[in-house]
Amino acid sequence: MTRVIHTGDTHIGYRQYHSSDRQADFLAAFESVVGDAIELDVDAVVHAGDLFHDTRPSLHDVMETIRILRTLRAAEIPFLAIVGNHEGTRDRQWLDLFADLELAIHLNDAGTRIDEVMFYGLDYLPPARRDRLEFELEPSEAAYAVLVAHGLFEPFAHAEWDTDAFLDRLSVDLDALLLGDNHTPGRAEVGDTWVTYCGSTERASATEREARGYNLITFGEEVRIGRRTIADTRRFVYIDCELQRSQGLDTIREEITANEIADAVVIISIVGEGEPVQPAAIEQTALDRGALAVRVTDERELPDDERPRAEFADPDRAVEARVRSLGLSEAGHLVDAVVRDLDVADANVRSRVRSRVETLLAEQPSAFSPGEPVDETTDAAEPADETTDAAEPVDETTDAAEPADERTESGAPEPRKPTDGHQRSIGEF
């Protein structure tokens, strides 16, 4: 029998609400998971990406993560992990540093065997690179094959991956797909493969109301996926105020007073037909009662002339306009095009730029002569120089993209009993 903790989306270093206390909370949640792993004496901790919140965590957070991983190594529990979208860099990964320190194993297509389970790993892939994915898993004689990946898979909410098609492309039949990226836990069966999210270990969004935790998975005569809650995460207090016609700030203050909010993050939503209220006054009331952070959302309909207006510009065109204004050489424009080309894999950017520059130095030295900057603030009535590839007008009334991190619904169907292959069952979830 093999038991592992499946965790992910720890987002160490996230200074949520600009609070150093919240930054410490994310680190503490990860340490709690590791403490549970040691207490439960599991065979491995499997991390499904986004160990860190961004590509440049503070030195303090890196050193503390190393300290925590050392306690796991001292307990002889391997830490198996992949790279998520928040922490991925063009060059070496923080996970590679931990692997060099023998504190972690960076899972890949070769796999790492723990008892009778072979664990493979796939780092986060941006959409532009997914169609060209060639992921040949090395075959194994282990009883179970498991892939750890980071992304949004069907049948869960906000899915970007067709799970059936993805599994068909793999060279090994999987018994389980252990996922990160969706912060809401869930599980489903796709064909003969269990697909499960562990959820985040701290609330990275106010919409993540469920208790935070991780999966505890047992591989034996059957596969059991259980759910465990992390103790002592930061309290979030949700106060939903429905104001009647004559009600306003005093009613909301009464609701705040009726709740124990000391050291908690307080999320206040306002609906109904009551009087207009100032969010700042509400926030101050909660802070005066000891709240760590406060967020107020007034969800009531406002008259058209009172609604805040939001305008969105095309960021790609803004970058292009800025580049044209710099007066770069032909070589400079070539380097810019390679760096921003989504079809060039991150790991190949440096070598591609070096190759192009060396070719230009040998064959076309004039390409390094400065170009003429394009001033895009001049009178629009003047015709653009046809050699400058002037930007087209930006329509700022287009719809903005939906935010990527508001992933709060698992959307998972009820699990089905398998008809063949390994016997599988789901524990309490």
Tokens found for residue 416: 């089905």
Cβ–Cβ < 8 Å for 215, 428: no
What's the CA gap between 213 and 7, in Å, rounded?
8
Instruction: Report strand pairing: 2-7 vs 44-47.
Output: parallel
Q: What is the per-residue burial (b if ≥16 Cβ within 10 Å, else e) of 37-53?
A: beeeebbbbbbbbbbbb
| Helix, coil or strand: residue 216 | strand
Could you tell me how far CA 225 lies from the centroid of its own chain?
22
- The C-alpha atoms of residue 414 and residue 418 are separated, in whole angstroms, by 13
Question: Parallel, antiparallel, or unpaired: how do β-strands 236-243 and 222-229 relate?
Answer: unpaired
Residue 347 CB: number of other CB atoms within 10 A? 11
HSE-CB at 357 with a 13 A cutoff on CA atoms is 15
Catalytic choice (6, 47, 53, 86) = 86
- Please confirm, yes or no, whether 422 is among the known catalytic residues: no
Task: Record the tokens describing residue 204, joined without a space.
Answer: 């990275």
Enzyme catalytic residues: 86
